[in-house]
Amino acid sequence: MTGLKDPKSRLIFALDVPSLDEAVSFVQKLGGSVGMFKVGLELFIKEGPAVLTAIRDHSDAEIFLDLKLHDIPATVERAVQSAAAHNVRFLTVHCAGGEAMLKAAVNGAGNSGLQILGVTVLTNLGPDDHREELGYRKDLTLKDLSVTRSGIAKTAGCAGVICSGLEVVAIRENFNDLLTVVPGIRQNKNGMGGDDQKRVITPKRAIQAGADYLVVGRPIRDASDPKAAAQRIVQEISEALSDTK
Ligand code: C5P
């Protein structure tokens, strides 16, 4: 993981904007300050693969296609084959789809270089959402579920998982070679006040816990100076990395 020595390479900016123009404007602003751009459902459904070309035209950063696939294995395998043709670095699939589906995703990527990340438990879910009628077991905490699903992702051959920063230590203890990619990053543990993320963590704590990558959207997108906000997070990552040396 040599590239990860550069603190900037660990910061993934979520391009959660509704149009190609706005995406390009952020890519131009932040291209030198983040390691990767994440394209999610909002932007990909609106603009399609053209957005990936536009990111490449305006920066050298890598691309993460966050489509969170969850379907029967044959469909997922073929969708991943299509995604692999776009030359992106990461693609997400939901671990809840089961081992056969995750394996199908890994097969679909083949040796294209595309790495599959399994979404363990969405970071907006908190203990109040952990209800039996939704299929959760009361005797299994969200952390236990995240670790169990990480094990399934590992068995299926995924490169890593998306998890909350609160679960990184437990996942790393059990599956040291899985990449951990952490959304729900907030400057203080109470979040931004009123947004949907519940299992949140600061950049510093996430890196100290062993996170490989941080995914940050609104704290950069909605800042008065997005570039300065990204640079502050990279500085925090850098300090946390020196603390853990
Ligand atoms: O704005 P915010 O920093 O909360 O953005 C987090 C990003 O990470 C969003 O694009 C969201 O779709 C994504 N994500 C997440 N939780 C997951 C997987 C991805 O919040 N488990």
Pocket test for ligand 1, best of 11, 13, 16 (most atoms within 8 A of CB): 16
Query: Is 152 a member of any domain?
Result: yes
Instruction: Look at the block and give the residue holding tokens 């400057």.
Output: 187
Atom number in ligand 1 closest to CA 122:
21
Report if residue 20 sits inside a domain.
Answer: yes
The closest residue, in CA terms, to atom 5 on ligand 1 is 217
Q: Is-catalytic flag, 68?
A: yes
Q: Is residue 66 part of a domain?
A: yes
**Are 92 and 67 a contacting pair, CB within 8 Å?**
yes
CA atoms within 13 A on the CB side of 124: 3
Shortest-distance Cα residue to atom 2 of ligand 1: 217
- The helix (H) or strand (E) run that includes residue 103 is helix 99-109
Q: Side chain identity at 152, as an amino acid letter? A: I
Is 2 part of a structural domain of the chain?
A: no
Tell me which residue range forms the domain holding 96.
7-244
CATH of the domain at 90: 3.20.20.70
Looking at the structure of the chain, the number of domains it has is 1
Q: Could you tell me if the CB of 198 is within 6 A of ligand 1? A: no
- Asked whether the CA dihedral 58, 61, 112, 43 is positive or negative, the reply is negative
What pLDDT is attached to residue 161?
98
Cα of 182 vs centre of ligand 1, distance in Å, is: 9
Residue 51 confidence (pLDDT) above 90? yes
| Bridge pairing between strands 160-162 and 115-119 | parallel
Considering only residues 53 and 4, tell me which one the structure prediction assigns the higher pLDDT.
53
Give the active site residue among 8, 29, 68, 245. Answer: 68
Find the angle CA(173)-CA(164)-CA(27) to the nearest 5 degrees. Answer: 120
* pLDDT tens track for 199-219: 889 999 999 999 999 999 999
Cα separation, 30 vs 65, whole angstroms: 18
Residue 150 lies in a domain: yes
Residue 139 domain-assigned (yes or no): yes
**Model confidence pLDDT, tens digit, residues 147-175:** 999 999 999 999 999 999 999 999 999 99
Let me know if residue 1 belongs to a domain: no
Q: Is 14 close to ligand 1, i.e. is its CB under 6 Å away? A: yes
* Residue indicated by tokens 């300090």: 239
Sequence length of the chain is 245
